[in-house]
Chain A
């Protein structure tokens, strides 16, 4: 039985905002940020909340971090209600919101961590060691930046420090809101590697939000796609891809010897795969497209290659076309 670390049940949240209409007049406007969101996160998994801007990711994250009260619905972290037992929840989570701020500019990275460590109840040699370990873990020590002022940090360093603070109290659940937002690709990659390492080595349960599908695909074990305050799909990355299409398309470019006709080729290949087979002549050579089930992918591919080889065909190019998370996303959110 998998242990539930986060349980979210039918969460709703609206914000009240005012639009300025002239100098004094203003118009009340209600924004429905969450329209009944439910999901569960199990111990040890990296769970992603993927959605475009304004989908309700930060709202969900803030509710789980006890920084925002829901209008209705229930959210618990390790069995504690985020509204009624907020202090118990706070003791067990590590949070990183916007990574570009949230620290004191005139303090070094280490001093910032020392301060927040104390604020969160750590003290003495334990605090010192923990701060040192986290600085090493997130790579700030290696960069020689632990004792530099925060105001001199690059965005990548700020993001790392934010992860370090979230890990400071050795929490059971990490809540990270768009931790790579705004980072240049190399920094983002380093941070993703760091997150994967932390999740596995430290055995953390992680909730991470992102609008980046590529990131969701490589970091998350399981994903919920959220759009306009509603979860539209939830599964593993592979499971989500199957939502769009179960099938895999294999595309090959081959050069046929003169004695083999196109018809012959199609018949030979159809013997080893169950799906549709298309054979078209192109300028570069003959293009073969085969649709197959994920389960037969490996075996069918091997047998096809063997067949082509025995017929004397030379293979120029081979490409597997799996549906991407992007396909899933576009299909589910109605194209955007």
Chain B
């Protein structure tokens, strides 16, 4: 009951924001395509679709591959920014204390009020790409691709919420307004194989890549771009890994967030 209104509060805040800032809404819709064109452009700059396939090392449709990458990159950046960075945002607007006196644990308030906005915007961006997917793969194939990407958006969100909340709790404890996310985010994206395949990395980076939830989310989304191969077994495997990571990261973040909350309330950082 209470949690449901908490979820709704997050949604309503977004609706109000965009209602009052139409220009931002337009750029929000244009953004995925801008990013896609950029990524595709760079991709084709280095050669034809054939060279792309040999570069990436998979039999995939490059356009669908980049759609999946763009989508997941945007979605996971959004989680990192908004769950992790929300503490900074509220501190800056002066709303942080009023968020914290909501009758829930701080981590619950921060994460729950964010979920609807994530789902709303991620699915809106996915919907924007559906015509592109249908153009590449036909009606049935395109919709099936969208379905897999949608799944990746939802399942990929679960571990990432906990992962991002860890950084949120860190930001809660420091009084200064340094945003570690501005340099952390690109690193996470690179390590998850958003731009280069992970096997090109040095060993230590490959290890980091393995423990990042986003790595598996990218994989899951990109399955949709594979040509003809049997995907079900691999999908099940990736989903299982992501669910396992959800439990791990959320439990970890719940503990850390509790500690951070105590520390912040003790030091007067709120």
Question: Which A positions have Cβ atoms within 8 angstroms of B?
Answer: 15-16, 59, 62, 65-69, 87, 90-91, 93, 95, 97-98, 101-108, 111, 114-116, 118-123, 149, 165
Partner of A165, one of B8, B9, B98, B265: B98
Contact A15 B100 (CB under 8 A): no
* A68 touching B101 in the complex, CB below 8 Å, given contacts A102-B95, A106-B17, A119-B113: no
Complex: chain A residue closest to B92, CB-CB: A101
CA distance A154 to B19 in the complex (A): 23
Which residues of chain B from 41 to 67 have any CB-CB distance to chain A below 8 Å in the complex? Answer: none
Partner of B12, one of A91, A114, A149, A165: A114
User: How close is A167's CB to chain B, nearest CB, in angstroms?
Assistant: 13
* B27 contacts A by Cβ under 8 Å: no
* A115 touching B94 in the complex, CB below 8 Å, given contacts A68-B270, A107-B20: no
| Chain B residues near A98 (CB-CB < 8 A) | 94
CA distance A108 to B21 in the complex (A): 12
Contact B20 A97 (CB under 8 A): no
CA distance A149 to B268 in the complex (A): 30
Interface size on B, residues (CB 8 A): 31
| Chain B residues near A67 (CB-CB < 8 A) | 97, 100-101, 265, 270
* A102 touching B94 in the complex, CB below 8 Å, given contacts A115-B13, A149-B20: yes
Dominant secondary structure of chain B at its interface with chain A? helix
* B248 contacts A by Cβ under 8 Å: no
| Chain B residues near A102 (CB-CB < 8 A) | 93-95, 97-98
* A15 touching B267 in the complex, CB below 8 Å, given contacts A97-B97, A119-B113: yes
* A90 touching B101 in the complex, CB below 8 Å, given contacts A103-B95, A105-B93: yes
Contact B101 A111 (CB under 8 A): no
Stretch at the interface among B102-110, B144-152, B206-214, B237-245: B102-110
Partner of A118, one of B5, B21, B95: B5
Contact B13 A120 (CB under 8 A): no
| Chain A residues near B105 (CB-CB < 8 A) | 87
* B262 contacts A by Cβ under 8 Å: yes
Partner of A87, one of B17, B103, B267: B103
User: How close is B94's CB to chain A, nearest CB, in angstroms?
Assistant: 3
CA distance A149 to B113 in the complex (A): 22
Contact B101 A65 (CB under 8 A): yes
| Chain A residues near B115 (CB-CB < 8 A) | none
| Chain B residues near A97 (CB-CB < 8 A) | 97
| Chain B residues near A95 (CB-CB < 8 A) | 97-98, 101
Contact B102 A101 (CB under 8 A): no
CA distance A310 to B104 in the complex (A): 74
User: How close is A110's CB to chain B, nearest CB, in angstroms?
Assistant: 10
Partner of B9, one of A15, A90, A93, A115: A115
| Chain A residues near B2 (CB-CB < 8 A) | 121
| Chain A residues near B98 (CB-CB < 8 A) | 95, 102, 116, 119, 165
Contact B16 A118 (CB under 8 A): no
Partner of B97, one of A65, A107, A120: A65
User: How close is B88's CB to chain A, nearest CB, in angstroms?
Assistant: 15
CA distance A62 to B101 in the complex (A): 11
* B155 contacts A by Cβ under 8 Å: no
| Chain A residues near B103 (CB-CB < 8 A) | 87, 90-91, 120-121
* A115 touching B270 in the complex, CB below 8 Å, given contacts A106-B21, A120-B102: no
CA distance A98 to B262 in the complex (A): 23
| Chain B residues near A121 (CB-CB < 8 A) | 2, 5-6, 102-103
* B99 contacts A by Cβ under 8 Å: yes
Contact B93 A122 (CB under 8 A): no
Complex: chain B residue closest to A122, CB-CB: B5
Contact B5 A107 (CB under 8 A): no
Contact B265 A69 (CB under 8 A): yes
User: How close is A244's CB to chain B, nearest CB, in angstroms?
Assistant: 35
